Amino acid sequence: MSVVYPADRRAWWLDGVALACVECGEPIELPAVYWHGATRLLLHADCAQHLGIALLQDARECDLAASPHWRRRAVATVKHRLVTEEAVVA
């Protein structure tokens, strides 16, 4: 990821890149966040932050789903939270 500035608007590496945010679909005005992976994408700064946080959360959930170690930790965390909540209510 990087940042595209207004001075980069005519850069060859922006040719064919839609000036719309891939997260919200609204038009993009530079500066904007630029992703060049298997495809090239532009995002508003706020949308990039939102997407980044969502990706991290999903990555953690995916790790939890795939790893017995993390599954045990998640169960222990939920059990602790339930016990704590019940102690507060009682």
What is the torsion angle, in degrees rounded to the nearest 10, for the CA atoms of residue 76, residue 77, residue 78 and residue 84?
100
Residue among 24 and 64 whose Cβ is closer to Zn ion: 24
Q: Is 14 in the site for Zn ion (CB under 5 A)?
A: no
Cα 55 versus chain centre, distance? 4
Q: Is 47 in the site for Zn ion (CB under 5 A)?
A: yes
Which of 14, 20, 24, 64 is the binder for Zn ion (CB under 5 A)? 24
Q: Is 21 in the site for Zn ion (CB under 5 A)?
A: yes
First to last CA, the chain: 50
What residues make contact with Zn ion under the rule CB under 5 A?
A: 21, 23-24, 44, 47
